[in-house]
Chains A and B, each alone.
Chain A
């Protein structure tokens, strides 16, 4: 397990943060700290302080924190276990000890927000990967967390389902104001949604800013995968062309090139 050092960050309510960096840099370790799995479940030296929604993770159990911080993993199969989607989504709120009607309300709401109301009676193993990940997100959402941490939630999905899941996540952020911390290597597909990118390397935070600020030379050197269009523009710049701003999305890149080519 990798260790992390000198991590001092503040994530404000409503931010959409992408956390990235080479394999083994400590991204998953940070996620496990945020919901209290570290230090409450995994042993190790935990130095410093971490407050989540005002709660010190050392003083609260993971179960208590789960109502504030939701966690979604890479492989939805590992997260779903009930015989129906609805049962699965209800599991969290039931364990919070909520009244029956409140649980009902939350489950219906979570199914609706993630667009899987029609699937509520199906067993999770009959769903496609994308639908399973929606169900996993719904299960977390039903806890009504203020913060959602998603550890490469699209890596098992086909590209179309991946984009759809990112839209769901973006929607949670924009419409419901849920703070999103998304761990992802593939910056191509997430840059459109993020307003902040944090890059880690060897257990430390090395870059922290807007996508455009962060996707510079340093990020390339430590080996994070810049969006392909950003790389393309870096090459064109090297070839002697000047651009006011380096695009980080396909649409922005197309706009710049369209102007240059129709001059």
Chain B
């Protein structure tokens, strides 16, 4: 469980990025943190693994105050995948990159080899095992960065903008993969602007704006609240826009993904006949 109480954070000499955040994210939850550029999303998750310490208030991870722990200790439980893979990757080959953290955690070589092989397969990276991460495309590098964190099997996984630069099929795979991780008992927290992605996987959405939580509701509720979306510089997902335009024809605004919209339209058309 990740719990914040009165969490404030400011970089030295700057105004507060986080201005008092009270949140509880339970084990096995699937959460999306959304909000405008500069709302404080990345800063918030950096307090979850101890990269940043609160300037006021507390963050507790599985009951332990992050001040009483260390990044090294917290990282074992809280895996953070950065938005920009180039801030994370440094090894000469993808295989080495994935083995690095496991070596640091003191795993045996044969365990390392097995885990790396599994994760390469799972994330469709096996063919790049011996390549340098830096010759891969942006989307591929992002998958390597994700693999490099998943490989040590943290209990809580945070993905900062995982869909950027991913094509449609990769997003599809990523969605299934996230849902699967979540079903396996992981807490999954994604930071994203991608309203389409969120409309399809329907997590709990925590909406940040200017360092405060301004909304905390299921995806179908939050992505249909025009006023709240406007406040956080978000838009309705495309299907949500369509349903909103057709609300006077008895179509449900909460149908925000293609399949629920299809069912709703079929029903409405059948009623006509």
Q: Is A159 an interface residue (CB 8 A)?
A: yes
Closest to A24 in B: B137
Interface residues of B in 244-259 (CB under 8 A from A): 245-246, 249, 257-259
Task: Label chain B's interface by main secondary structure.
Answer: helix
Q: Is B140 an interface residue (CB 8 A)?
A: yes
Please determine whether A160 and B36 come into contact, CB atoms closer than 8 angstroms.
yes
A-B contact count (CB 8 A): 126
Please determine whether B268 and A261 come into contact, CB atoms closer than 8 angstroms.
yes
Please determine whether A23 and B239 come into contact, CB atoms closer than 8 angstroms.
no
Q: Is A223 an interface residue (CB 8 A)?
A: yes
Please determine whether B258 and A236 come into contact, CB atoms closer than 8 angstroms.
no
Q: Is B195 an interface residue (CB 8 A)?
A: yes
Q: Is B6 an interface residue (CB 8 A)?
A: no
Closest to A132 in B: B37
B181 smallest CB distance to A (angstroms):
21
B188 smallest CB distance to A (angstroms):
21
What is the bound-complex CA distance between A159 and B192, given in angstroms? Answer: 10
Q: Is B167 an interface residue (CB 8 A)?
A: yes
Task: Provide the B252-272 mask, 1 if CB < 8 A to any CB of A, else 0.
Answer: 000001110110011011001
B256 smallest CB distance to A (angstroms):
10
Say which size band chain A's interface belongs to: 35 or more
Please determine whether A161 and B233 come into contact, CB atoms closer than 8 angstroms.
yes
- Contact check: which of B36, B138, B170 meets A158 at CB < 8 Å? B36
Please determine whether B249 and A258 come into contact, CB atoms closer than 8 angstroms.
yes
Task: Provide the B25-48 mask, 1 if CB < 8 A to any CB of A, else 0.
Answer: 000000000011110000000000
Task: Provide the A241-263 mask, 1 if CB < 8 A to any CB of B, else 0.
Answer: 10000000011011001101111
Q: Is B105 an interface residue (CB 8 A)?
A: no
Q: Is A30 an interface residue (CB 8 A)?
A: no
Q: Is B154 an interface residue (CB 8 A)?
A: no
B78 smallest CB distance to A (angstroms):
24
Q: Which residues does chain B contribute within 8 Å of A257, judged by CB atoms?
A: 242, 246, 249, 265
What is the bound-complex CA distance between A156 and B193, given in angstroms? Answer: 8
Tell whether A229 pairs with B167 under 8 Å between CB atoms, given A75-B84, A157-B193. no
- Contact check: which of A24, A129, A232 meets B261 at CB < 8 Å? A232
What is the bound-complex CA distance between A262 and B265, given in angstroms? Answer: 13
Say which size band chain B's interface belongs to: 35 or more
Q: Is A61 an interface residue (CB 8 A)?
A: no
Q: Is A208 an interface residue (CB 8 A)?
A: no
Q: Is A235 an interface residue (CB 8 A)?
A: yes
Q: Is A227 an interface residue (CB 8 A)?
A: yes
Q: Which residues does chain A contribute within 8 Å of B261, judged by CB atoms?
A: 232
- Contact check: which of B38, B137, B195, B235 meets A2 at CB < 8 Å? B137
B225 smallest CB distance to A (angstroms):
14
Q: Is A228 an interface residue (CB 8 A)?
A: yes
Tell whether A23 pairs with B234 under 8 Å between CB atoms, given A228-B239, A229-B239. no
What is the bound-complex CA distance between A1 and B140, given in angstroms? Answer: 11
What is the bound-complex CA distance between A27 and B249, given in angstroms? Answer: 42
Closest to A261 in B: B249
Q: Which residues does chain A contribute within 8 Å of B258, judged by CB atoms?
A: 228, 231-232, 235
Q: Is A15 an interface residue (CB 8 A)?
A: no
Q: Which residues does chain B contribute within 8 Å of A130, judged by CB atoms?
A: 37
Please determine whether B167 and A129 come into contact, CB atoms closer than 8 angstroms.
no
- Contact check: which of B137, B161, B196, B234 meets A28 at CB < 8 Å? B137
Please determine whether B268 and A228 come into contact, CB atoms closer than 8 angstroms.
no
Q: Is B155 an interface residue (CB 8 A)?
A: no
Query: 25 interchain pairs (CB within 8 A)?
Result: A1-B135, A22-B167, A23-B137, A23-B165, A23-B167, A23-B170, A28-B138, A74-B164, A75-B84, A157-B37, A158-B193, A158-B232, A161-B233, A185-B165, A185-B166, A188-B238, A226-B168, A228-B237, A228-B238, A229-B239, A235-B259, A236-B266, A250-B241, A261-B246, A261-B269
Other CB < 8 Å A-B pairs besides A23-B137, A23-B139, A260-B272, 5 of them? A23-B167, A24-B137, A158-B35, A232-B261, A235-B258
